[in-house]
Structure 1
Amino acid sequence: MPKQTVKEAIIAALKKVNKPLSSNDIYDTIMEHDFYRFRAERPPHIVLSELRRHCVGLDYPSASAKKHYQILKDGTYWIKDVPVPGESIEAAETQAAVKKSYEVSKDVIRNLKEMHQSHIEKFKLSILNQLKELEPDTFEHFSKKLLEVYGFKDMKVTQKSRDGGIDGFGKLKIGITHLNVAFQSKRWKNNVVRKKEIQSFRGDIQGKFEQGIFFTTASYSRDAKDISIQSGAVPIILIDGPMIVDIMIEKKFGVVVMESLPVYINAFEEALDREKDSNKNL
């Protein structure tokens, strides 16, 4: 048996028969001529998976960008960019038109993905800019609500005259107990939260709370990040502007998903393959 890959075995089988074949016929030809020895429970499925992952026109999430095969109108497979044996001029022209349409579709999908990514980036920036325009006390209440939608309970915003460096507090259920948590919110446009702000917040909550959460619409300096988690000290979770926006999107808080556009992939042969396997087990 020559040492070769599943891909090479498939191509060898197609060349041996010199005509397009179904996935099962390709598998039978591979076995008949000992092109490859499978060590899997369902070797026909290995062949089908290889064909579809590397087939022109089949671009689902787990498909490969490298294409080695083409699928014909009757559902059989042949080698990519190799003339189909016995194919008429009309059929060849039809297949060429299908390939051209596929390439155009790929360009359209790529452009849509780029537009979608651009929209997301602009959308996130727009939300972040809105957050930066909030009044400081409004941002504190916003932080409280964000923690509530994330699962925190009994959240309260402290009064300005007696907050002691703590803007709010509440509880987070961990297993059968509750973690006492305090938060601080800094609605800053351009300032960077530095080490001293984190140290001050930690000093305010040490011995009273088991965890601190620091919100800012700006960013954190490296030294602030370095001391946020320290052995023997209350851990401080740092959440910056982009992270706030990501949480809003994840929890759909202040964000509405207008529409989801499904993309359909032909999986008809897989369905038949599963049905055959099911019947074998009866």
Structure 2
Amino acid sequence: MTIIEAIKEILTNEEIGLTSRNIYEKIIEKNLYSFGAKDPKAIVNGIIRKHCLGIDFPTASPVKHFKVVKQTGHVNYYLLNKNDSQALTINEIKNNEKEFLPEEKMMRAYNEHVGNIKQQLIDEILDSDPAFFEQLVSDLLIKMGYGYDENVSKVVGGTNDGGIDCIIDEDKLGLDKINIQAKRYSKDNMVGRPVLQMFVGAMQNVQKGVFITTSSFTKQAVDYAKTQQQKNLKLIDGEMLAELIVKYEVGVTSIKSFNTYKIDKDYFSES
């Protein structure tokens, strides 16, 4: 019998929920599994969380055998996942830090760190010159693989730019181009449909356009971008912009990387 099978055996007829400690004690009491670990209670807790509905982290299993049905203080109570409505929501579960696995704590800290960096990036962009922002979005698209080398982008923004701030040649003959419009707007200054219509109108003899803003788009603007059939138009708001800047490391530098580890069961099974 595996640990998961032992846990499921304990929870088969359970109705009110058990803590991971309760489950471990019942496994020992019924002699369902022989633990060789120094801290078997932590092993049981880790196995349950890896297979628990609403608890997701990099090494969590997509197969969810268990669910959280209530919390007392910092302690979760679990039942078998039978696809009913007893399970707590993700928001109810995620604040229970005491039972977090180490890798979950690391992921939460990482996500918080990246979130702070993204906000700092938007603040830096808003404090910069508009021409710098146009160059930044040009550098970003080149880093993402648009264009055939690093010198294919031409910043043309200005007072008479006609709605085009940057042009990227995707091939060496310049037969396929991307037009870019970059709007360095504050968070509450949303991009509306008329601005997108002007951008599309300025895209003469070019089929691909990318509209980038540090703010966001109105619903009317998003609907227009989806339904208009004149051009192939992509919208990038401030949240996605910050995400892409971090992902492709434009204006940010990676300081240090950390590895996480798991036991190689195959290696130990050979001994």
TM-score (norm 2): 0.61
Give the aligned residue type for 2:111: Q
Cα distance in 1, alignment partners of residues 244 and 32 from structure 2: 56
| One of 134, 144, 149 as aligned partner of 1:150 | 144
- Residue by residue over 1:188-232, the C-alpha shift from the partner in whole angstroms, topping out at 9 and shown as x without a partner, is 123110000000000110x41111111111111000001113353
In 2, distance between residues paired with 1:222 and 1:133? 27
Does the 8 A contact of 2:153 with 2:169 survive in 1? yes
- Letter of the 1:171 partner, please give it: D
Q: CA deviation at 1:124?
A: 1.2
Question: Which region of structure 1 is more displaced relative to structure 2, 153-162 or 58-67?
Answer: 58-67
Partner of 2:79: none
Contact 2:131 2:157 in 1 (8 A): no
> Per residue, is there more helix in 1 or in 2?
1
Alignment partner of 1:20 is 2:42: no
* Paired residues of 1:140 and 1:167 also in contact (CA < 8 A): yes
Q: In the TM superposition, what whole-angstrom CA distance separates every residue of 1:142-192 from its partner, at most 9, and x where no partner exists?
A: 11111111112211011636522211111336xxx9632101111112311
Q: How far apart, CA to CA, are the structure 1 residues paired with 2:164 and 2:126?
A: 20
Question: Which residue of structure 2 lines up, in the alignment, with residue 238 of structure 1?
Answer: 235
State the 1:255 CA deviation: 1.6
The residue number in structure 2 matching 1:124 is 118
Q: Return the offset for 1:137.
A: 1.4
Bigger radius of gyration, 1 or 2?
1
Task: Say whether residues 1:255 and 2:249 are aligned partners.
Answer: no
Aligned to 2:76: none
Indicate the SS of the match to 1:262: coil
Q: Which residue of 2 aligns with 1:134?
A: 128
| Distance (whole Å) between structure 1 residues aligned to residue 257 and residue 8 of structure 2 | 37
State the Cα deviation string for residues 40-85 of structure 1 (Å, max 9, x = none). Answer: xxxxxxxxxxxxxx74456681358879xxxxxxxxxxxxxxxxxx
CA distance in structure 1 between the partners assigned to 2:198 and 2:156 by the alignment? 17
> What is the alpha-carbon distance in structure 1 between the residues aligned to residue 218 and residue 32 of structure 2?
65
The structure-2 alpha-carbon separation of the partners of 1:169 and 1:259, relative to structure 1 and needing over 3 Å to count, comes to same
Quote the residue 2:202 is aligned against.
204
What is the alpha-carbon distance in structure 1 between the residues aligned to residue 33 and residue 155 of structure 2? 74
Aligned-residue offset at 1:259 = 1.5
* Aligned partner of residue 169 in structure 2, secondary structure: strand
Q: Find runs of 4+ consecutive structure 1 residues off by over 6 angstroms.
A: 12-19, 64-67
Residues 8-61 of structure 1: CA deviation (Å, up to 9, x unaligned): 699699999877389xxxxxxxxxxxxxxxxxxxxxxxxxxxxxxx74456681
CA contact (8 A) 1:229 1:235 kept: no
Matching of residue 270 in structure 1 with residue 270 in structure 2: no
1:183 aligns with 2:177: no
Counterpart of 2:266, as a letter, is E
Distance 2:32 2:168 in 1: 72
Whole-Å separation in 1 of the counterparts to 2:128 and 2:237: 15
Q: Give the conservation status (yes or no) of the 8 Å contact 2:139–2:250.
A: no
What is the identity, as a one-letter code, of the residue corresponding to 2:211?
Answer: F
CA RMSD in angstroms comes to 3.9
Residues 200 and 55 (structure 1), Cα distance of their counterparts in 2 relative to 1, 3 Å cut: same
- Partner letter of residue 129 of structure 1? D
Aligned partners of 1:172 and 1:239: how far apart in 2? 19
The worse-fitting range, judged by mean Cα deviation, of 255-264 and 129-138 is: 255-264
In the alignment, what sits opposite 1:164? 162
Structure 2 stretches of 5 or more lacking a match? 11-26, 37-42, 51-57, 67-96
State the shift of 1:241 in Å. Answer: 1.2
Q: Judging changes above 3 Å, is the alpha-carbon distance between structure 1 residues 9 and 146 closer, same or farther for their aligned structure 2 residues? A: closer
Q: What's 1:222 paired with?
A: 219
What is the CA–CA distance in structure 2 between the aligned matches of 1:105 and 1:258, rounded to whole Å?
A: 29
Output the TM-score relative to the length of structure 1: 0.59
Structure 1 unaligned regions, length at least 5:
1-5, 23-53, 68-102, 277-282
By how many angstroms is 1:239 displaced?
A: 0.8
Percent of residue pairs identical: 22
